[in-house]
Structure 1
């Protein structure tokens, strides 16, 4: 492809608007041609100051535009399946923000639909795979630099949850990133989930079980623990420590400026994921655009999206039951890479 990739962004909320900005100003090889959101005013606000970008309230109308050659999906979870199926029917490459779909059954339908096209078209937005620190940790583990990995210790903290955030969403929305990161870092599948619940923080909204401690078992014999705390009140923190047979490695601590004055030191803490992972999002979208222009979509696959959904579903069941829940994965469709 010699022409820029003509991208339609579906969803103009917090994440979608950030991708609009990114495609317009920080990513080469792509041209933003359409933005779709049921809130017409929000779509217009997202493209303010940008020339030649059409807005729609119907995402399928945006996808039908002839100049659209790729789709970035950042709309609410329950809308993903319809939009992705439409994109796959047109043979359009897609970058879909996680989750691929709100439940494993829908995610598997998308895997099967992609398999019927005979090629990779879907990339799921697990941006930690593009973060410099996480990539260094992955390279270290792959090289055997600390020996066989035994444990991953993860923290995932937010300042405050968004409106209508539920106890299950601590797993399906927040810990979904740790699910994918663990599978990718270790090269292993998660086979079982257990969730422990301390007394909820007084800062958590009424009824929200926050924080939670999530434990994953893998088919390679490793254990992964995740502290998820979305009402921390002070900042956005994501860390991961790998413990191997011959050493350990930790990422995620050194973010923000450190200021020393008056006999003490103060370190800034990022306030949200768009700040902490800004560079990772840029690299993710650049890689997707470059791949889509050459007809090759890499990165986290639809299968990775399905696997994350299956683990998250087991996690919700573990949260509700208080017990250990096995993860049930379907068989990959024939011919699916």
Structure 2
């Protein structure tokens, strides 16, 4: 039984605690921590987990085998480095860290240890539809991929959301996904700015992100974060001999009163509920009997940060911005395909 401590008991932290205590097998939440000690105490009381006032104390708790980091992004580096120092596997919700330099410090620490301890929470890789899409590309039925069209639409975003978050917080999922889907790195980024939606307030909403893969595949990502009608994720790959697209995420079609309709997910939790379950169960299984994580690595977290930064620069300048990655350590050989 894997004993897990969770740092950060906000919305996503509590959702992961829920799945580890009521849905998944082979795991027990033994400790929790949060800057809001009252919330942490409430979660601890409900789950029987001990409560730590400091995340570092949770990491060093002998009753914690592995750590899940769901705290505020700027704290991620501190906790991931502490987990590596303690020799404990750590699942870190994105971002791995808030700067490229911080990501590289995490990579350096893991390289010194000589084995993977870090997994980053990019759940698209665990979604059944995306996995089916990758399998279709692997069979070669549409020939070599040439382009991909992606859509990432949110009904709304919180008041603290800023325009650059359309890339760093929203489209970063597509950034990681296409690296994994095409087993390839992003070579350059451009951002196109269309007419502004009145729903977006002061935001520049929507945006069109253009990713040039090293292989020559072109990916466009429509980012609309105040589209009102629901949470809508789409993807279609255009190949030499055909296309392959995500299926419809709605489980039912309703025909009534002269209409043919399908429900649209309300938010990311509804759309990717099963993906999160699969992601965590596979992480738990990978750590059983002393194994190491096999999902998105610290290198993947670093690469996503570099591409996101290039996207932000492209948004600010209107220029095509090349993506320049550091040399990949041998520890992360072929990580894109993982």
Q: Which residue of 2 aligns with 1:172?
A: 168
The 3 A distance-change label for structure 1 pair 157 and 25 is same
SS in 2 for 1:155: strand
Task: Please state if 1:19 is matched with 2:16.
Answer: yes
* Structure 1: stretches of 5+ with no match in the other structure: none
- Aligned CA RMSD, in angstroms, stands at 1.3
The 3 A distance-change label for structure 1 pair 44 and 270 is farther
Which runs of structure 2 are paired with 1:137-216 in the superposition (5 Å)? Answer: 137-205=133-201, 207-216=202-211
Question: Deviation per CA, 1:197-223, whole angstroms, max 9, x where unpaired?
Answer: 112211113x21111000000110100
Task: Please state if 1:259 is matched with 2:249.
Answer: no
Q: Which residue of 2 aligns with 1:106?
A: 102
SS in 1 for 2:61: coil
- 2 CA distance for matches of 1:336 and 1:265? 48
Q: Which residue of 1 aligns with 2:336?
A: none
Q: Which residue of 2 aligns with 1:309?
A: 305
Displacement after TM superposition at 1:45 (Å): 3.6
- 2 CA distance for matches of 1:315 and 1:64? 37
Displacement after TM superposition at 1:266 (Å): 2.4
- 2 CA distance for matches of 1:42 and 1:331? 42
Question: Deviation per CA, 1:98-122, whole angstroms, max 9, x where unpaired?
Answer: 1111121111111111111111111
SS in 1 for 2:159: coil
Contact kept, 8 Å, 1:20 with 1:47, in 2: the verdict is: no
- 2 CA distance for matches of 1:210 and 1:47? 40
Q: Which residue of 2 aligns with 1:278?
A: 273
Displacement after TM superposition at 1:245 (Å): 0.4
Question: Deviation per CA, 1:61-117, whole angstroms, max 9, x where unpaired?
Answer: 111211101011111111100000000001111111111111211111111111111
Q: How many residues align?
A: 332
Bigger fraction of residues in helix? 2
- 1 CA distance for matches of 2:330 and 2:128? 34
- 2 CA distance for matches of 1:209 and 1:35? 38
Question: Deviation per CA, 1:129-164, whole angstroms, max 9, x where unpaired?
Answer: 111110011111122121100011000011111231
- TM-score, L = length of structure 2: 0.95
- 2 CA distance for matches of 1:258 and 1:69? 45
- 2 CA distance for matches of 1:82 and 1:60? 9
4+ aligned runs moved over 6 Å, structure 1:
none
* Structure 2: stretches of 5+ with no match in the other structure: 334-338
Q: Single out whichever of 280-289 and 71-80 deviates more from structure 2.
A: 71-80
The 3 A distance-change label for structure 1 pair 252 and 161 is farther
The 3 A distance-change label for structure 1 pair 289 and 267 is same
Question: Deviation per CA, 1:226-275, whole angstroms, max 9, x where unpaired?
Answer: 00111111111111101100110110533243222122122211111111
The 3 A distance-change label for structure 1 pair 335 and 127 is closer
- 1 CA distance for matches of 2:193 and 2:42? 41
SS in 2 for 1:27: coil
- 1 CA distance for matches of 2:159 and 2:63? 36
Q: Which residue of 1 aligns with 2:235?
A: 240
- TM-score, L = length of structure 1: 0.95
Task: Please state if 1:67 is matched with 2:63.
Answer: yes
Q: Which residue of 1 aligns with 2:317?
A: 321
SS in 1 for 2:329: coil
